[in-house]
Amino acid sequence: MLMLESLLTFGEGFLFFGGNESMDSRIGVVGIVIEEFESANLVNETLHELASIIVGRMGVPRKERGIAIISLIVEGTTDEISALTGRLGKIKGVNVKSALTKKSER
């Protein structure tokens, strides 16, 4: 039997079926390093599409080093946060790392 609370929608038409544990909300940080400025627009578009889980954002361009750094504070399910980091990690010239709280809230 499929429970409504175990159905998550994310990304472009993808559905995830899981237990109640996937509905737990977590808070964490996501670090993004952009080494190719041509990728910055795609990063920003992705962040805009998934803005519902972003609580705060700070961006620091380091033109003299040829990189840009973005730090995010996020709150969402592990599936939502993984969808964000997964999509960002597929972008050329972008490195992504995340750390989430172990404590979850329903």
pLDDT band at 22 (very low <50, low <70, confident <90, very high): low
- Let me know if 23 is exposed, middle or buried by CB neighbors in 10 A (0-12, 13-18, 19+): middle
Question: Which residues, in sequence order, are CB contacts of 95 under 8 Å at separation 6+?
Answer: 32, 33, 35, 89
Q: Hey, where are the domains in the chain?
A: 23-100
- Higher pLDDT: 2 or 77? It is 77
CATH of segment(s) 23-100: 3.30.70.1150
Question: How do residues 85-97 score in pLDDT, each as one tens digit?
Answer: 999 999 999 999 9
